[in-house]
Structure formats: structure tokens, C-alpha cells
Amino acid sequence: MDKNKSTDRIETEVVLKAARSRVWCAISHAEEFGDWFGVTLKGKTFTAGQTVRGQISHAGYEHLVWEVVIERMVPEELLSFRWHPYAIDTAVDYSQEPATLVAFELTAVEEGTLLRVVESGFDNIPAERRQEAFRMNSSGWEAQMKNIEKYVAAAVAS
């Protein structure tokens, strides 16, 4: 199956002009992750098995709390977490819904680091919100790839 036609997963990647160790810090250190992702995570840490919450700082979404459960951390290779995609209606309890799995995979390449993000599990999201969650997260991950690209470029330049 053409990976771009899947309804269950979003896949995107970007080559970052930075060492894998630098990119790993940007995704695995909660405060740095929050800086480029748009979530206030001051004083927070990412640890496998732990839930992490922070206030979203992206304009128009500041009333929302970002919440993930860190699943796996393999230094300089993989960070994954589970969350409820596009859970923006504060009147809805999303806790009983299946979560999607977001995996950040790092690979050293000649130009720096290939960062691949795969979010899977959309086919398990309730039908009434599946398509919108998929569409919004697809465009969201495109924006986040630009955000981390700018973030690590600024860090490398300084």
C-alpha cells in the first residue's frame, strides 16, 4: 500500500543540519521539546512510562492542556509517546478513546540527522472524529517539522 494513502498513519520526515545528539536533545528534553512544539514544559522531564502535561502555547490553543504518555526512549534513536490526537473540545472526555502512537526516529545521514515522525493508530479513533483528527495532525506535523528545523538551526548557529 502507498504509505501516503494510508488512513491509519501519518509519516513525515526532514533532514536537519545538526548532529544526531543535538536533535536528540531537542526531542527528548521536555523543556526543549516544548520550546519548538509550542507547549510550556518548564521543569518537566520525559521518562518512559510517565504522563507529561503542559499548557499549549500555540496561539488560539492556550486554553488546552497537552498530555502524552511517554512510551519508549532509546537515546539518539527513538522517542515515542501516546496521545489523543486533535483532542481540542474541552467538553469531551477523550480518556476512553484509543490513543495514537507518535514515534520520532533519528538516523545519522551525511547532511546531519534524518528525523522521521510516524503517528499511527487513526483507524481506532472514533469514526465521528477520525477524519478531522487525521487531517489536522497531518498539517500539524508538517508545521512541526519546520519548527524543529528552525529550532535546531538556531541552536547550531549559536
Q: Which domain holds residue 29?
A: 3-157
Q: For residue 155, give the C-alpha cell.
A: 541552536
Percent of the chain with pLDDT over 70: 96
Q: Confidence band (pLDDT; 50, 70, 90) for 6?
A: confident
Q: Is the pLDDT of residue 4 over 80?
A: no
Report CA dihedral (117, 85, 95, 6) to the nearest 10 degrees.
-80
Q: Is the pLDDT of residue 92 over 70?
A: yes
Q: For residue 7, give the C-alpha cell.
A: 488512513
Q: What is the mean pLDDT of residues 59-83?
A: 97
Contact 18, 156 (CB under 8 A): yes
Q: How many domains does the chain have?
A: 1
Instruction: Give the per-residue SS3 of the chain.
Output: CCHHHCCCEEEEEEEECCCHHHHHHHHHCHHHHHHHHCEECCCCCCCCCCEEEEEECCCCCCCCEEEEEEEEEECCCEEEEEECCCCCCCCCCHHHCCCEEEEEEEEEECCEEEEEEEEECHHHCCHHHHHHHHHHHHHHHHHHHHHHHHHHHHHHHC
- Specify the pLDDT at position 56: 97
Cα angle at 24 between 21 and 26, to 5 degrees?
A: 115
For 21-45, the pLDDT digits (tens) are 999 999 999 999 999 999 999 999 9
- Specify the pLDDT at position 134: 97
> Residue 125 and residue 83: Cα distance in Å, rounded?
11
pTM: 0.94
Q: Is the pLDDT of residue 80 over 60?
A: yes
- Specify the pLDDT at position 41: 98
Q: What CATH number has the domain bearing residue 81?
A: 3.30.530.20
- Specify the pLDDT at position 156: 72
For 119-141, the pLDDT digits (tens) are 999 999 999 999 999 999 999 99
User: Which residue carries 484509543 as its cell?
Assistant: 98
